[in-house]
Structure 1
């Protein structure tokens, strides 16, 4: 029997995973398999509604929690991709079953890695090239303001006020928030805008029209990481957003303030960073306390 071709939306989603996240062939095959199996129950995934998705609970009733979590994650990411790309307005994945599994801690970059990234980007910017100035502005906004990749690449010129250190960001669900911009980020952004030229509605335009793509942003960061002596696999827009949040929390930021800055609708999403900070504190005590390495015998 000839296997039916995957939906074009599924193929686009898998291509994004490969380009942006560097997903391995086995990982892509697992996503493809999970989505194909869901489609056997639901039908066409791209157009499925909440009731269709809710029907998967019965089909998955005998699965182990880890398998159920993996399949649900594949669908959530798929529908999140469709919403981000403007291919549908609603996300039906909220109807998926949610197994009780421990949420992994986000991947982190320490202060030394961040310093290495900025040292390399600043050296590029000193040359005064458009590419160097753009990269530094991108890095400053990712780490300095915690923007999502989509929010950053699609940032319109109108969102950058001339007389206030804030950006007006339109996040998930069309919800707007004000994001403060550091003095150094304002300087990098100003230098980029001065050389960017006029025309176009986006801060980071694409030579082909529209705005810089998320795939290109991912590639730029990986190249920067390699030149900074870091493992490119450890650096991405999302990792820099995590670093922004974690380092603010380390510095004493309030969790509610962090929720606002990140644009989280639910404080529970932000609370993952309390676990990150707690883990760091435990490691710090074990490493630095006078009795941390003392024998208990």
Structure 2
């Protein structure tokens, strides 16, 4: 069968995503993927499975597999919504890695330098946002649920995408956030809002964090909000080796997702293997 992507198709798809309670970030991402495919096809061009497969090859050529798969998932959602099931694509199979890419591994020293840089650049809100994510593993989209009232309860209640969960807030973090609120005249409601009074968004926080790179002497590829969530996961798992409890804290329904968060760097993995190797050496070599 042949199909054509028209403006009304994208509008209907967006409405379906909203109805299914997808987050604003997911909706924007899915729309971008569909619009990119439409641009690749060209104006008023009909397509079928052959063109969809050709575009999949183009994604493989241009992007990392994870990015290519994210685009395929978005397109499949669009195709299913439109009833174009004949165009659905399979995602690329990826070998699971037991380690994280070192170019994204954030060390404790680098994290501390990021905080210091935010202080030095007088970005008080950004400082406390980074601190909050690193201490709780909370998502940017969930920050709006941290309110002045939640600080006294030492927990915030999050309701997103039809799911409800409670996030515990560490004592010292609550003290620091209360001081922050007092200093900025925040008496009630969300602790972190934009200058227009709206919840802070990921792109704004990302842009502000990237500006810390030179001052903090931390490579820019390591600096993004979600990496602080990974940073929390690795540090939490180092203190409490209960991956199920960590999954609950992060709001994961699949433990396999949580395992991705707890990956260590190749250097750390080699260090562990070196320790194991010492125990496996022949007795004569240990003497």
TM-score, normalised via structure 1 length: 0.63
| Structure with the greater alpha carbon radius of gyration | 2
SS of structure 1 residue aligned to 2:158: strand
Paired residue secondary structure (1:187): helix
* Equivalent residue in structure 1 for 2:162, among 174, 195, 210: 174
Deviation, 1:31, is 9.2
Is 2:132 the counterpart of 1:157?
A: no
Give the corresponding residue for 1:50.
Answer: none
Question: C-alpha deviations, 1:127-170, integer Å up to 9, x for none?
Answer: xx6x42x2222011111111112222x33537x42433222223
String of CA shifts for 1:58-85, please: whole Å, max 9, x gaps. Answer: 94299669839554422546899x9xxx
Do 2:145 and 2:156's aligned partners in 1 also have CA atoms closer than 8 Å?
no
User: How has the CA–CA distance of structure 1 residues 38 and 284 changed in structure 2, closer, same or farther, with 3 Å as cutoff?
Assistant: farther
Q: Please report the RMSD computed on the Cα atoms of aligned residues, expressed in angstroms.
A: 4.7
Residue pair 2:105, 2:265 contacting (<8 A) in 1 also:
no
Asked if the contact 1:165–1:180 (Cα under 8 Å) also holds between the matched residues in 2, the reply is yes
Instruction: State how far apart, in whole Å, the 2-side matches of 1:65 and 1:5 are.
Output: 22
**Matches of 2:132 and 2:38 in 1, distance apart?**
34
Structure 1 regions of 5+ residues with no counterpart?
A: 18-27, 44-54, 83-87
Distance 1:184 1:103 in 2: 37
Cα displacement (A) at 1:253: 3.3
Corresponding residue number in structure 2 for 1:215 = 203
SS in 1 for 2:150: coil
Call closer, same or farther: CA 1:39–1:273 in 2, change over 3 Å.
Answer: farther
Q: Equivalents in 2 of 1:271, 1:42: separation in Å? A: 43
Hey, what does 1:284 align to over in structure 2?
271
User: What is the alpha-carbon distance in structure 2 between the residues aligned to residue 282 and residue 181 of structure 1?
Assistant: 31
Q: 1:103 deviation in Å?
A: 4.7
The TM-score with structure 2 as length reference comes to 0.65
Would you say 1:184 and 2:172 are equivalent positions?
Answer: yes
Distance 1:186 1:289, change over 3 A: same
Gaps of 5+ in 2: 15-23
* Residues 1-297 of structure 1 mapped to structure 2, 5 A cutoff: 33-34=36-37, 36-37=39-40, 59-60=52-53, 67=60, 71-76=68-73, 97-103=90-96, 105=100, 107-122=104-119, 131-132=123-124, 134-152=125-143, 154-155=144-145, 157=147, 160-171=149-160, 173-198=161-186, 201-274=189-262, 276-277=263-264, 279=266, 281-285=268-272
The 8 Å contact of residues 146 and 190 in structure 2, kept in 1 or not, is answered as yes
Give the number of aligned pairs.
245
Deviation at 1:278, TM superposition (A): 8.1
Q: How far 1:33 moved relative to its partner?
A: 4.8
Deviations 1:81-118 (A, max 9, x none): x9xxxxx9xxx9xx752332125646320112112223
Q: Do the aligned partners of residues 253 and 286 (structure 1) sit closer, same or farther apart at CA in structure 2, a change above 3 Å counting?
A: closer
Q: CA deviation at 1:269?
A: 0.9
